[in-house]
Structure 1
Amino acid sequence: MSSTVTGSKMRAILIVAITAISFVLSGCGGMKPYNGPEVTRILVYKEDRKMFLMHHDKVLKSYDIHLGFEPVGHKQYEGDGKTPEGSYLINRRNPNSDFYLSIGMSYPNTDDVQRARAVGKSAGGDIFIHGESPDPRYKNKKDWTWGCIAVTDKEMEEIYPMVNLGTVISVYP
């Protein structure tokens, strides 16, 4: 009879543990699932510091953005502080980013690599749309990334579930 009580207690503990874990995981980051129209394209206008999530020709959401610390012109090589211009794909997701959450761009493409090699440098990589910097020195800076596109952490919570892998991102001067 004591083994039945122990078995019942163990089952109860297991159910409580599973429920607690499920609760914690479901609330992770405060992200809500996205059930709206598909984001078919992302448009970024560097000069205006604006990013638009599009469903075909309709704007679903718009965001004010921060760019690389040298925002004018196309990224030439790693470390130049420029945000790439052109069309790329969203090709990865990083829920453990140093910048809260991030989604990666397919930079560099073949042309980007050739351009950098022509000046004896690496094209670099790791270009993302991401949240805020954990470094307070960048809190009120207009353009502070190494070439990425930054939004607030709260905005990244909206963007992250909305944008699927394979989404085209077009970055204009």
Structure 2
Amino acid sequence: MRIGNQERWTQMRSLRGLRACILGGPPKPHNVNRKIVLVSTAICALALYFYAHHNWHPLSPRTTIDRIVVEKSARKLSILRDGKQIKTYRVALGRNPFGPKREEGDMKTPQGTYKIDSRNAQSSFHLALHISYPSDEDNKRATARSVPAGSDIMIHGIRNGLGWIGAFHRWKDWTVGCIALTDEEIEELWRVTPDGTTIEIRP
């Protein structure tokens, strides 16, 4: 159904009035866009914060796992014990997430089966579990192309000092190839994941 000129004009005036109420007065060309961005960002951040905390169910202190499965396309990290899925987290990935990692600097999160082989409590990102990338096969492929395979792929939290962002960090993929959780989530994963745990990263 087409909207007549009079109806369209009425809707525009109503929207202007609503915008004036929200932003505090008539719009000014030089600051309306900035105010809209700030208000929208604040609303989204608050919504994500309350959603994440309302739905947070901590694991038992006695919980340990033996496998991690990451599904890149779904942005999910699941933890398992004896084949049984215990919990799933939403994650952010490398800034160029699709496809396997081929070389250093390609901003991709690897694909394949690896181990959690070490951890760093002093990381510049809140806690870091190191993934054993590159494997021998990864190195062979990179060598065949005369490029470095890359290294230092981690599961980690948010950059130190920015933990208040919480679930809002998942707004987009932002790492250089790592797998990112909220600080609360990485603290839990750190606690339940022994060194040597298998991690499978799927497309």
With the length of structure 1 as denominator, give the TM-score of the two structures.
0.76
1:97–1:169 distance in 2 versus 1, CA, 3 Å: same
Q: Is the CA contact (8 Å cut-off) linking 2:96 and 2:106 kept in structure 1?
A: yes
Which of 64, 67, 84 lines up with 1:58 in the alignment?
Answer: 84
Q: Is the CA contact (8 Å cut-off) linking 2:114 and 2:200 kept in structure 1?
A: yes
Residue aligning to 2:122 = 96
What percent identity do the matched residue pairs reach?
A: 42
Aligned pair count reads 141
Task: State the distance in 1 between where 2:144 and 2:177 align.
Answer: 20
The alignment's C-alpha RMSD in Å is: 2.1
| 1:128 partnered with 2:154 | yes
Q: Is the CA contact (8 Å cut-off) linking 1:133 and 1:139 kept in structure 2?
A: no
Q: Which runs of 5+ in 2 are unaligned?
A: 1-58
Q: Is the CA contact (8 Å cut-off) linking 1:70 and 1:81 kept in structure 2?
A: yes
Asked which structure has the greater RCO (Cα within 8 Å, sep 6+), the reply is 1
1:44 CA drift (Å):
0.4
Residue aligning to 1:110 = 136
1:39 CA drift (Å):
0.4
1:34 CA drift (Å):
3.3
Partner amino acid, structure 2, of 1:112: D
Task: State the distance in 1 between where 2:141 and 2:71 align.
Answer: 22
* Deviant stretches of 4+, over 6 Å: 135-138
1:135–1:35 distance in 2 versus 1, CA, 3 Å: closer
Task: State the distance in 1 between where 2:192 and 2:62 align.
Answer: 8
Task: State the distance in 2 between where 1:139 and 1:51 align.
Answer: 15
Task: State the distance in 2 between where 1:139 and 1:87 align.
Answer: 26
Task: State the distance in 1 between where 2:170 and 2:150 align.
Answer: 26
Structure ID, larger Rg: 2
What do residues 42-66 of structure 1 show as CA deviations (whole Å, max 9, x unaligned)? 0000000000010122111110000
1:133 CA drift (Å):
2.6
Q: Is the CA contact (8 Å cut-off) linking 2:157 and 2:180 kept in structure 1?
A: yes
| 1:34 partnered with 2:78 | no
Q: Is the CA contact (8 Å cut-off) linking 1:33 and 1:161 kept in structure 2?
A: no
Residue aligning to 1:165 = 195
Worse-superposed segment, 106-115 or 128-137: 128-137
